[in-house]
Amino acid sequence: MKFSVSSSDLLKHLQLAGGAINSNPVVPILEDFLFSIKGEKLTISATDLETTITTEMEVKADSDGMVAVPARILLDTLKALPSQPITFTIDPENFGIEITSSYGKYRLAGENGSDFPQVPVADSVDEVTVPGQVLIDGISKTLFATSGDELRQAMTGVYFQVDFNKITFVATDAHKLVRYSFSNEGGGEVNTSFIVPKKALNLLKGALPSDQSIKLAFNKANAFFNFGKTQLVCRLIDARYPDYNAVIPVDNPNLLTVSRPDFQNSLKRIAIYANKTTNQVILSITEDSLTIMAQDMDFSNEATEQLACTYDGSSLKIGFNAKFLIEMLTVLESDEVKMQLASPTKAGILLPVDETEGEEILMLVMPVMLSA
């Protein structure tokens, strides 16, 4: 088997697929790319058995065939080569690979492609079409709120709720929660929900085209994201997602409105002086003034700032983890944000003042208890 390809084009496709490869795979062949040639089409696959990325490109080939190619040495070789045509020659007897460039020849040991794990097939799937930018936004706005606690498996991914013409993304780690919804005309008749793992979403976030529609198909076991000549398949998290609506407080009589950049920058400065374990900052809110305070008794560090705000409600003093608030304010795009608050022991709700039509975002953050 022999084929020729542009080194820079091949590198782009390999870098995309290579995101699926684990640094410590359970079996050695998972350190490889699977190259499969049919006609003038090269299909490149990589997997860690949970997430699989497949991408296609045009090549000049003399025959069909497949081979597993060591990923690290191939990527390093291509990164070190200037853009140029290169030729791969594969020995069908021992799967030895010879790469020829204008500089010389490079030999590496391949493996039998038929030993590579099978890519999951989209059987018995429901399918929706989602604009790429919306999917990028949904992932970007929720991914940071997922949990790293493997004992709470469901919370380590993002919960997708497909409800006919509406898709909702939810992420929580029990300290903070984000719910992002948008109206989607491609929803059709589908009404279901599933949990997508964090690794797959991180890979998607960097690979999805913002100017294309994405075909999203899913069954009980896997989700299939198709865009351009690329497909990402991931195994869904088999767990029950917590009833997140039950923790969103509905009666929040106190409403704070404040400039998002001013609030965020103030928190960043004040957080420097907070206790490094709790990251606690205290918001003291009165009619037209927001005072942000932090202190670290262990090192006698203390800081206070005051911001102009609009506040409708009774005076309130409440503590939050500054890190969580800063993350949330980074994700929100509105110039002004509003916080709905009830008491020092109840969750605060953070919302943008201005929302894009067809989109809705709600963020919840649990308070850090104030010491008496």
In tens, the pLDDT along 296-338 reads 988 999 999 999 999 999 999 999 999 999 999 999 999 999 9
Are 69 and 99 part of one and the same domain?
yes
What is the amino acid identity at position 369?
M
Burial class (CB in 10 A: 0-12, 13-18, 19+), 220: exposed
Give the mean pLDDT of 198-225: 94
**pLDDT for 3:** 97
Are 253 and 335 part of one and the same domain?
yes
Are 101 and 12 part of one and the same domain?
yes
- Is 227:132 a contact under the CB 8 Å cutoff? yes
Is pLDDT above 80 for 140? Answer: yes
Are 159 and 107 part of one and the same domain?
no
Instruction: Establish if 28 belongs to a structural domain.
Output: yes
**pLDDT for 298:** 87
- Is 68:115 a contact under the CB 8 Å cutoff? yes
In angstroms, the Cα distances linking 225 to 52, 93, 348 are 11, 36, 35
**pLDDT for 370:** 76
- Is 328:338 a contact under the CB 8 Å cutoff? no
Are 149 and 96 part of one and the same domain?
no
Strand, coil or helix: what is 355?
coil
Are 316 and 294 part of one and the same domain?
yes
Give the integer Cα–Cα distance in Å for 237 and 197: 6
Are 83 and 67 part of one and the same domain?
yes
Instruction: Establish if 329 belongs to a structural domain.
Output: yes
| Structure tokens that stand for 268 in this block | 């960043």
Give the mean pLDDT of 152-169: 93
Query: pLDDT tier at 135 (50, 70, 90 boundaries)?
Result: very high
Pick the last residue of a domain from 221, 245, 269: 245
Q: Quote the distance between the C-alpha of residue 341 and its chain's center.
A: 29
Is pLDDT above 90 for 356? Answer: no
Are 328 and 303 part of one and the same domain?
yes
**pLDDT for 189:** 75
Pick the last residue of a domain from 70, 88, 115: 115
Are 360 and 255 part of one and the same domain?
yes
Instruction: Using only the alpha carbons of the chain, give its radius of gyration.
Output: 25
- E strands present in 59-175: 60-61, 65-70, 85-90, 96-100, 105-109, 111-112, 126-131, 157-163, 166-172
How many domains does one find in the chain?
3
pLDDT > 70 fraction of the chain, expressed in percent and rounded: 99
Query: pLDDT tier at 122 (50, 70, 90 boundaries)?
Result: confident
Output the CA angle 204-208-213, nearest 5 degrees. Answer: 125
Q: What is the mean pLDDT of the chain?
A: 94
Q: What is the CATH number of the domain that holds 175?
A: 3.10.150.10
In angstroms, the Cα distances linking 269 to 165, 261, 262, 283, 315 are 42, 12, 11, 14, 24
Instruction: Establish if 370 belongs to a structural domain.
Output: no
**pLDDT for 188:** 64
Strand, coil or helix: what is 63?
coil
Burial class (CB in 10 A: 0-12, 13-18, 19+), 257: middle
Listed range (7-11, 189-193, 315-319, 351-355) with the worst mean pLDDT: 189-193
Q: How many other CB atoms are found less than 10 A from the CB of residue 155?
A: 26
Query: pLDDT tier at 372 (50, 70, 90 boundaries)?
Result: very low
| Structure tokens that stand for 269 in this block | 């400065």
Pick the last residue of a domain from 245, 264, 294: 245
For residues 210 and 97, the model is more confident at 97
What is the amino acid identity at position 199?
K
Per this entry, what is the length of the chain? 372
State in Å, rounded, how far the first CA of the chain is from the last one.
75
**pLDDT for 148:** 93
Are 35 and 49 part of one and the same domain?
yes
Give the integer Cα–Cα distance in Å for 47 and 32: 9
Instruction: Establish if 195 belongs to a structural domain.
Output: yes
Give the integer Cα–Cα distance in Å for 286 and 164: 43
CA-wise closest residue to 239 among 220, 225, 224, 223: 220
What is the amino acid identity at position 19?
G
Are 176 and 284 part of one and the same domain?
no
Is pLDDT above 90 for 95? Answer: yes
Instruction: Establish if 348 belongs to a structural domain.
Output: yes
Are 92 and 145 part of one and the same domain?
no
Instruction: Establish if 255 belongs to a structural domain.
Output: yes
Instruction: Establish if 147 belongs to a structural domain.
Output: yes
Instruction: Establish if 120 belongs to a structural domain.
Output: no
What is the amino acid identity at position 329?
L
| Structure tokens that stand for 234 in this block | 């991931």
Domain ranges, residue 294: 249-365
Based on DSSP, count helices (H) and strands (E) in the chain, helices before strands. Answer: 6, 27
**pLDDT for 187:** 58
